[in-house]
Structure 1
Amino acid sequence: MTEATDAMEYDVVVLGAGPVGENVADRTRAAGLSTAIVESELVGGECSYWACMPSKALLRPVIARAEARRVAGLRQAASGPLDVQAVLAHRNEFTSNWKDDGQVGWLTGIGADLYRGHGRLDGKRRVVVTAPDGELRVLNARHAVAVCTGSRALLPELPGLAGANPWTSREATASQSVPGRLVVVGGGVVGVEMATAWRALGSEVTLLVRGTGVLPKMEPFAGELVVEALTEAGATVRTGVSLAAVERTGGTGPVTVVLTDGERIEADEVLFATGRAPRTEDIGMESVGLEPGSWLTVDDSCLVEGSDWLYAVGDVNRRALLTHQGKYQARIAGAAIAARAEDSSVPVSAPWGPYATTADHAAVPQVVFTDPEVGAVGLSLAEAERAGHRVRAVDYEIGNVSGAALYVDGYHGRARMVVDLEREILRGVTFVGPGVGELLHSATIAVAGEVPISRLWHAVPSYPTISEVWLRLLETYRDE
């Protein structure tokens, strides 16, 4: 390690060049603030190379084939297996073969300065970057430092796991070959999506879930329909099971998962999709009085609690571990940084209007790209009731809508809207079924905009489309 060079001065320093950090830099540069961005891996971050993009590239042909098999005239043509090498090559293309030249070019284009290496806070408004060659560079921020370092896979403490070379979401989305047998541990979004993808690509998949079902944060019927489809596709789904150990000699060859009842399950790979942890363990949190490895508590402009200069944007603040929510936060945080840089009288607490991440509280949308798809926004029925709202769930079988029946033969799905009976607005909406991901933004607008039921009647859905389910939900609400 070499001595630090003279400090460079910037208005804003951003730690992490994933989608969140990129969007903070984009907003601050648009406001005329000089901005440095620090990245220890690939510019573009987790989403571009190991999460959203590669996982959806793997899943898209899976879902397209499943839907084609349900359409008269296409069923026979889609009866064969997927071209595995073509699917993997398609995935590789969407990750730019794990090269970030394009993303670096974009950063250069907006006028941000990229520093490659490991960045650590070193006191107030100061960041020290250790470059790959060991050189130290000091970056001082006149106005703000934004921590956008994201999250990493959280592995449980299990005997034998450390030496077993388990898959996490990174290995699951980047593998260049199909494991003959794959055990997936965890019933959240990553677990069910990767079980769907690798089963369709030829793996014998066993999904192990500690709880009573999958997708536990969503409406119960969502998980039930996904399990039904996984089982029909040939995967084995087991709930209410816990692991005692993992065994793998030398970290290669077959891996054995040992359950707490002594049962042993052998596979070629084991994927742990058991949660996320913030990437704050080695970024100098202690130098500013914060705990290394902790989630960072922020206000609605993403300003860290108790600070007037440190922002935490995206996964690290634990509000919503979703790329689109992180980018939303980044746009608002960038605007808040710019406003406070221009006018020091702008309050550092109680942000307002365009500087408040209000959609983080009750209107977070998410799509699960399984077969069937799941789309949900806002509160589930149970969440709304726990929050003290007087609500009613209104359900409708999406397959009874003409547009759905035309979309695929034998369409089976379910829609639910959670109605606040006092205000007559929607607290949450959930769709499960083929193609429902594209319905979700209409629901997000209704929930985020607190559109009254009386006005939703005048949002006329096109016929014949799946979106006609909106009319059927409103009719059911009226008639029950």
Structure 2
Amino acid sequence: MAATPTTPAADEAYDVIVLGAGPTGENLADRAHAAGLSAVIVESELVGGECSYWACMPSKALLRPVTARSDARRVPGLQGAADGSLDAPAVLTHRDAVAAHWKDDGQVRWLDSAGIDLVRGHGRLAGPRRVVVDDGERTLTARHAVAVCTGSRPVLPPVPGLAEARPWTSRAATSSQAVPGHLVVVGGGVVGVEMATAWRALGASVTLLVRGDGLLPRMEPFAGQLVAAALTEAGVDLRTGTEVREVRREIPGGPVTVVLDAPGGPGGPGGAGRDDIVADELLIATGRAPRTADIGLETVGLAPGSWLDVDDTCRVSGVTGGWLYGVGDVNHRALLTHQGKYQARIAGAAIAARARGVPILESDPWGAHAATADTRAVPQVVFTDPEAASVGLTAAAAERAGHRFQVVDQDLGAVAGAFLYADGYRGRARMIVDLDREVLLGATFVGPGVSELLHSATVAVAGEVPIERLWHAVPAYPTISEVWLRLLETYRG
């Protein structure tokens, strides 16, 4: 069937209908089409989704100059050349180009070239295998599957005055056309620390408020500690153990007042019990919810606005006939773009196999039809300065899972490649070894440039490579990858 970016005729049938044209939806439709199935995507916003325009791509465009300047300042012969401020207008202009100026023409052309049809509008389920677009202007029927790939959205906590103050969420933080004079960031997760890093380097005064006692709580504790130290050195006012009590903004676009409960509760260490911060902008980065509130889940017996419970093929549980799939953020397995694309490849293969009557390999945990990496080998990079990268289980997660394991740590700065990379290189590496099977359960790296170390660890964890075989994976000298030898030597003792 010829692909077209225009809407097809009413009541048209496809083998697969995809709700959402982000990376997850695009990949699922592509896999299904490559297997010989007809596919259509329904999208109400920009083709390419959150990652292309408001998340991964623009945020990294903001962060790359930060780490490049920082690296240059630590290399002999370049320190003086890199001492100046970042050219904020140039960085923002480049960010706009990376986000394609928030136009999706190129993505639409790719869909057309891939043979995937596109329907513009809001799609809702209207019973089994049926999708209506824009309240019935178009009706689509799926012969084999409907895949919900609508992603997630930021959540505002129930703080008095917060919603009325119209704070930034992740979208505004990555697309702002100006550097705020003073930015308050609430949240110590990935979005919070990355945006604090970027906007501080671009010239904003930044206050980072964290409810708990540290940053990056899902990683090893040392990751958050090293990132916190670097943010503080960069001039970020980092406050842990803080609660936002109230938010006030009297004039739209005017200053915002953030009222805090002081650490230690009423009265606090200083006796005041409260604190007010007046800033130009407030970014809330405290959590996400599925974008499933208005897609017709109630017509197939599911609760609107809920995360979708799925099996390892990403097929939604509790739906008669097994035709509904929830792929990417909506299933809450791993809220990362690359994991959504991974799930899309698995789900696309499973849909195609079921359509052909081919047995599904659910019993094979690393087979073509099981998204096993969602639970055993999820890689993630936090693009702060220093970077933090991890895959698989942390020590705390391994303990909760009941594994018998050993923690192996190494100072990354002691590796010859790190010494050459930058003066005063600071970093740390950790691997978690399953003592019963002698394979890696997880690994974490923190330091400049460690994002490029992560895939080797991901291969080792996903491939369940025996420790003895890892000795034969020889890292080139002198690279930071030699940390693998140091970790293995420490483990062997």
What TM-score range do you get, normalising by the shorter chain?
A: over 0.9
| DSSP-derived class of the 1:340 partner | helix
Q: CA deviation at 1:347?
A: 5.2
Distance, in Å, in 1 between the alignment partners of 2:36 and 2:85 is 53
The equivalences for 1:37-436 within 5 A come to 37-130=41-134, 136-260=137-261, 261-307=273-319, 308-343=322-357, 346=359, 353-436=367-450
**Equivalent position of 1:444 in the other structure:** 458
Inter-partner Cα distance in structure 1 for 2:361 and 2:72? 53
Aligned mates of 1:318, 1:351 — CA distance in 2: 22
Is the 1:300–1:351 Cα contact (8 Å) retained in structure 2? no
Question: Distance between the aligned counterparts of 2:216 and 2:458, measured in 1?
Answer: 20
Q: CA deviation at 1:380?
A: 0.5
Distance in 2 between the 1:38 and 1:249 partners?
39
- The equivalent residue for 2:16 is 12
Secondary structure of 2:197 counterpart = helix
Whether the 8 Å contact between 1:300 and 1:350 is mirrored in structure 2 is no
What RMSD, in angstroms, separates the aligned Cα atoms of the two structures?
1.3
**Structure 2 Cα separation of the partners of residues 6 and 329 of structure 1:** 30
Match of 1:35 among 36, 39, 58: 39
Cα deviations by residue, 1:188-239 (Å, 9 ceiling, x for unpaired): 0000000000000000000000001000010000000000000000001110
Judge conservation of contact 1:299–1:350 (CA < 8 Å) in 2.
no
* Structure 1 position 163, deviation (Å): 1.1
CA distance in 1, matches of 2:309, 2:136: 32
Superposed structure 1 runs of 4+ greater than 4 Å apart: 347-352
What amino acid maps onto 1:30 in structure 2? A
Contact between 2:361 and 2:368, CA under 8 Å: does it hold in 1?
no
Q: What is the match of residue 482 of structure 2? A: 468
Residue ranges of structure 1 left out of the alignment (5+ in a row): none
For the residue of structure 1 that corresponds to 2:487, the secondary structure is helix
CA contact (8 A) 2:409 2:487 kept: yes
Moved more, 419-428 or 440-449: 419-428
Could you report, residue by residue, the CA deviation over 1:165-208 in whole angstroms, capped at 9, with x for unpaired residues? Answer: 10000000000000000000000000000000000000000000
Corresponding letter in the other structure for 2:178: S
Contact 2:433–2:441 (CA under 8 A) maintained in structure 1: yes
8 A contact 2:156–2:163 mirrored in 1 = no
Give the residue type in structure 2 aligned to 1:103: Q
- Per-residue CA distance 1:427-477 (angstroms, 9 max, x = gap): 110000000000000000111111111111111110000000000011111
Distance 2:112 2:251 in 1: 44
Measured in 2, the distance between the counterparts of 1:384 and 1:19 equals 31
Quote the residue 2:266 is aligned against: none
1:110-169 deviations in whole A, cap 9, x for unaligned? 111100110000000000001xxx771000000000000000001101110111010000
CA deviation string 1:378-402 (max 9, x = no partner): 0000110111001111101000000
> Deviation at 1:298?
0.5
**Structure 1 residues 32 and 209 mapped into 2: Cα distance closer, same or farther (>3 Å)?**
same
Q: Distance in 2 between matches of 1:428 and 1:342?
A: 37
Conserved 8 A contact 1:399-1:413 = yes
Give the TM-score of the pair, scaled to structure 1.
Answer: 0.97
Give the length in aligned residue pairs.
Answer: 472
Structure-1 residue corresponding to 2:5: none
Deviation at 1:34, TM superposition (A): 1.0
Tell me if the contact between 1:192 and 1:370 (Cα under 8 Å) persists in the aligned partners: yes
1:127–1:140 CA contact under 8 A, matched in 2: yes
> What percentage of residue pairs aligned between the two structures are identical?
71
Post-superposition offset of 1:262:
2.1
- Please, which moves more after superposition, 420-429 or 54-63? 420-429
CA–CA distance in 1 between the matches of 2:288 and 2:315?
Answer: 22
Structure 1 residue 342 displacement after superposition: 1.0
Read off the aligned partner of 1:368 and give its amino acid letter: V
C-alpha distance in 1, partners of 2:128/2:199? 46
2: distance between equivalents of 1:219 and 1:339?
39
Q: Give the residue type in structure 1 aligned to 2:237.
A: T
Shift of 1:421: 1.3
Contact 1:403/1:466, CA 8 A, preserved across alignment: yes
8 Å Cα contact 1:5-1:137 kept in structure 2: yes
What does residue 264 of structure 2 align with? none
